[in-house]
Amino acid sequence: MFLRIRHQTRFSYSQPVFLEPMTVRLRPRSDCWQKLHQFELTVDPSPEGRTDLVDLDGTSSAFLWFSGTHPVLNLTATSWVETLRENPFDFILRDQKYLEVPVQLSENYQFSLGPYLHRGSPSAKVDDFAREIAREVNQNTVSFLSTLCSRIHESFEITLRLTGDPMSPEELLSKKKGACRDFTVLFMDACRVFGLPARFTSGYYYGDEEFSDRELHAWAEVYLPGGGWRGYDPSVGLVVSHYHVALTSSPTWILASPTTGNFRGTGADSSLNFEIQMEKVDTLGKLIPSHHPSQE
């Protein structure tokens, strides 16, 4: 399906400040899952310079630098994206050692996927949570991932938290409620318990009104031999298909942030406002009525 996405971000400061160099990750990926037909990023005030680059995980980013002092910074990203994969189960696991968890990675995979296996603060509570689900599905890898995704969705309350770092997986297990980024971090850590490489992905979800037209969304991607990176969204309990638009992915959430940068100004405070609009179109130019997917 075709989607037009307009993402406006406004940083406001209590007094003019000097803007440090900034990385902007608002350009949707273009690959076999989705095709980016058109993208425009406008910046006000105009930067002194701009470099477009490919980041660590293949993310197309813009690196901006400024001169002078400014009271506001406005970013407007407009994207025309075609999502391509309606069936997220169109794969088979080509490696027999991947059929059951814990999986066994070949030496080449271990070398390449090491950052996606790192657990910052291993927790016995997360270990127990993951192992209980694995026992329920007789250690089957694909069933484990789907059940983990739906279990987090069913067992935890989703909340809207616009700012702040993700909770630790153990904290979410204790509080039983959190934002999409909290659910994603727990899902990733549970996968890594069994040696499943997982990464944090930020982007947009064209689904329930709870997520559309509000904020950036987050979900996890897991690497499966024969399937590549496959998305799982524990916030909605769904395997990712053509209702998701990915911007950026990383082994850690911080490198998947939409923007990274700082400012300098003695005693200055900052505030952030944003607006995200997603519209479904039947061609690259004509809008059609909204439709939301079922949660079956």
The mean predicted confidence, pLDDT, of the chain is 92
Q: Is residue 287 part of a domain?
A: no
Say whether both 118 and 233 belong to one domain.
yes
Q: Is residue 110 part of a domain?
A: yes
125 Ramachandran zone, left/alpha/beta (phi>0; psi -120 to 50): alpha
Element (H, E) at 200: strand 198-205
Say whether both 119 and 160 belong to one domain.
yes
93 backbone dihedrals φ, ψ, rounded to 5°: -80, 120
Say whether both 234 and 268 belong to one domain.
no
Q: Is residue 190 part of a domain?
A: yes
Contact status, residue 57 vs residue 5, Cβ threshold 8 Å: no
Q: Is residue 291 part of a domain?
A: no
Say whether both 112 and 216 belong to one domain.
yes
Element (H, E) at 210: none
CATH number at residue 174: 3.10.620.30
Say whether both 76 and 169 belong to one domain.
no
Total number of residues shown for the chain: 296
Confidence of residue 95 (pLDDT cuts 50, 70, 90): confident
Say whether both 139 and 112 belong to one domain.
yes
pLDDT at 197 over 80: yes
Number of domains in the chain: 2
Q: What is the pTM of this model?
A: 0.92
Q: What pLDDT, on a 0 to 100 scale, did the predictor assign at position 285?
A: 65
Say whether both 179 and 222 belong to one domain.
yes
Say whether both 109 and 204 belong to one domain.
yes
Say whether both 267 and 157 belong to one domain.
no
Say whether both 231 and 124 belong to one domain.
yes
Say whether both 102 and 237 belong to one domain.
yes
Say whether both 77 and 187 belong to one domain.
no
pLDDT at 290 over 60: no
Q: Is residue 228 part of a domain?
A: yes
Q: Is residue 17 part of a domain?
A: yes
Continuous H helices in 72-231:
107-113, 124-136, 141-155, 169-175, 180-193
CATH number at residue 40: 2.60.40.2250
Average pLDDT (182-211) is 91
β-bridge pairing 177-178 and 157-158? parallel
Average pLDDT (147-162) is 92
Q: What share of the chain is helix, strand, coil (3-state, %, to 5)?
A: 20, 40, 40
pLDDT tens per residue across span 5-52: 999 999 999 999 999 999 999 999 999 999 999 999 999 999 999 999
Q: Is residue 89 part of a domain?
A: no
Q: Is residue 296 part of a domain?
A: no
In which domain, by residue range, is 20 found? 2-84+257-281
